[in-house]
Amino acid sequence: MTENPLAVHMVGITKRFPGVLANDHINFEAQVGEIHALLGENGAGKSTLMSVLAGMYRADEGEIYLHGRRVHLRSPRDAIAHGVGMVHQHFMLVPVMTVAENITLGLQQPRFVLNLARIEQKVTELSGQYGLRVDPKARIWQLSVGEQQRVEILKMLYRGADVLIMDEPTAVLTPQEVEELFVTLRRMANEGKTIIFISHKLDEVMDIASRVTVLREGRVVATVDTGKTNKKELARMMVGREVLFRVERQEVRKGEVVLEVQELSARNDKGLPALKNISFAIHEGEILGVAGVAGNGQRELAEVITGLRKATSGSVRVHGCDVTNCSPRRIISESVSHIPEDRLGMGLVPNLAVSDNVILKGYRRPPLSKGPFLERTAIGRFAQRLIQTFDIATPSTATPVKLLSGGNLQKTLLAREISIGPRLMVAVHPTRGLDVGATESVRNLLLKQRAEGAAILLISEDLDEVLALSDRIAVIYEGEIMGILPADAADVETIGLMMAGAIRETVQETEIERAS
């Protein structure tokens, strides 16, 4: 790689939080016109380091140089004034305002008179220059997720950013949108912009980045050229051990139908249709993956099946028993496990101990309780057994779960849900936000349950995960099933088009007919 001038040079960056050394004398540099990836496990210090560069945190020690000049970044406004902008994974946009209004929101100029026509013209020019197609007059709520991300990028370019930090930028995009984003990022780099790309997806890092800096436990492990390394080596540097990328999905003989969903419809939190006459079935020893861009009815589907949301029509049956609109407790009694997408907000009680969290599904039954009283000795033994079985890294059974890492939170949640001996598991984004080591562990736990005869509904926006784990794949778009494909015969391009609503697979017979 030809040596270009340094756009970013961070020297000896140290950042401490109470009880945590997040960044330990980190040196990081990115060149002008470079796409530089930042990798690391959860808690490795990536976000903290980039938050220092974006002006959201102030380093306790260290220096920052931009284009060779030392700078003091006290706020995001300071950072953008020096040409550094951050595109967050969760977009910072006002839905009811137009693209042009969002792009100028917070700017000091113009102060009194807003010339929207001039702003819209400049936005259109920037759109054309970087291939970021978007209507400057459209309101944010009218745009797709991919278009909203373009608005976030345009917002930074409009402010004159020449260093862009992209935080997990592909998490909510279809494969086609990812390709379009990569074309845009390469064009920006060719025009002299510097892109810092934070991602958990090693395939994407190898595809888009010229260099990679790997962090582990708040320190830099290495900075390497992508042309001189591979996924296996990067993963080893991230987690300190070998990581197997191929999950061993053994052949399992499908048994009886466990879950039957027929003509199911439901509304979202705004009272609008979220599910529209959905039908499918899942057998014992089978994983049905649901692929789709966020917000197309996945959350509502999981909540209806687990009793957290009412269906407006249709039915849900577990082992032939109609559980439509039953209470969560009644559905749990049918041995249904639920791994919700929000592991701390919904799946676990942050302030309760690990031992209390792992008994939430079974505390009513002996030996965990005797009549109305909890048996603390039995609970301690039960929790300790799960900690050992699921390799949960925790100081003790009494540790509040809020103090655990993301991977150990997910293991705690899985331990509880698996401990009830589930016949059906509803797993929503089970590895979202986890590093490669924790992801490997969680996926193997799901496959083990499949091998033991559980039926699993896997809802994930990670298409690689859906393809790796599923026996069949259902693609959902705007609350409708666009088609159900055998995983072995599915290809990324077809699934991507279905996720965008561009094509619909013709199914000769319904899922219920096939199941019977």
The helix or strand, by DSSP H or E, that contains position 282, with its residue range, turns out to be strand 273-283
Write down the pLDDT at residue 337.
95
Look at residue 244 and tell me whether its pLDDT is greater than 70. Answer: no
The single-letter code of the amino acid at 87 is: V
Residues of the chain with CATH 3.40.50.300: 6-239, 249-335+421-516
**Which residues, 6 or more positions from 472, have their beta carbon under 8 angstroms from its beta carbon?**
286, 287, 288, 289, 484, 485, 486, 487
Look at residue 129 and tell me whether its pLDDT is greater than 90. Answer: no
| Bond from prior residue into 110 cis (ω within 30 degrees of 0) | yes
The answer to whether 453 and 255 have CB atoms below 8 angstroms apart is yes
CA-based Rg of the chain, rounded to a whole angstrom? Answer: 24
DSSP 20-59: EEEEEEEEEEEETT-EEEEEE-TTSSHHHHHHHHTTSS--
pLDDT digits (tens, 9 = 90+) for 198-235: 887 788 899 999 999 999 889 999 999 999 999 888 88
β-bridge pairing 35-40 and 61-66: unpaired
Long-range contact pairs involving 376-384 (C-beta distance under 8 Å, separation at least 24)? 379/355, 380/355, 382/355, 382/358, 382/419, 383/354, 383/355, 383/358, 383/359
DSSP 349-380: -TTSBHHHHHTTTTTTSTTTEETTEE-HHHHH
CATH fold group of domain 6-239: Rossmann fold (3.40.50)
Write down the pLDDT at residue 513.
40
Write down the pLDDT at residue 245.
55
Separation in Å, CA 165 to CA 30, 55, 148, 157 = 11, 12, 16, 12
The answer to whether 448 and 425 have CB atoms below 8 angstroms apart is no
Q: How many CB atoms lie within 10 A of CB 171?
A: 19
Write down the pLDDT at residue 281.
96
pLDDT digits (tens, 9 = 90+) for 62-104: 999 999 999 999 999 899 999 999 988 767 889 899 999 999 8
The whole-angstrom separation of Cα 8 and Cα 69 is 10
Which of 130-144, 256-270, 344-358, 465-479 has the weakest average pLDDT? 130-144
The single-letter code of the amino acid at 151 is: V
The answer to whether 276 and 457 have CB atoms below 8 angstroms apart is no
**What's phi and psi for 439, nearest 5 deg?**
-60, -45
The whole-angstrom separation of Cα 154 and Cα 172 is 18
Both tokens assigned to 177: 């949108």
Which of 73-77, 158-162, 407-411 has the weakest average pLDDT? 407-411
Separation of first and last alpha carbons in the chain: 59
Both tokens assigned to 270: 């705004």
pTM for this entry:
0.67
% of the chain at pLDDT higher than 90: 51
Q: Does domain 249-335+421-516 have CATH number 3.30.1050.10?
A: no
The single-letter code of the amino acid at 341 is: E
The whole-angstrom separation of Cα 304 and Cα 51 is 38
pLDDT confidence band for 504 (50 / 70 / 90): confident
The answer to whether 34 and 4 have CB atoms below 8 angstroms apart is yes
DSSP code at position 98:
B
Look at residue 512 and tell me whether its pLDDT is greater than 50. Answer: no
Write down the pLDDT at residue 171.
66
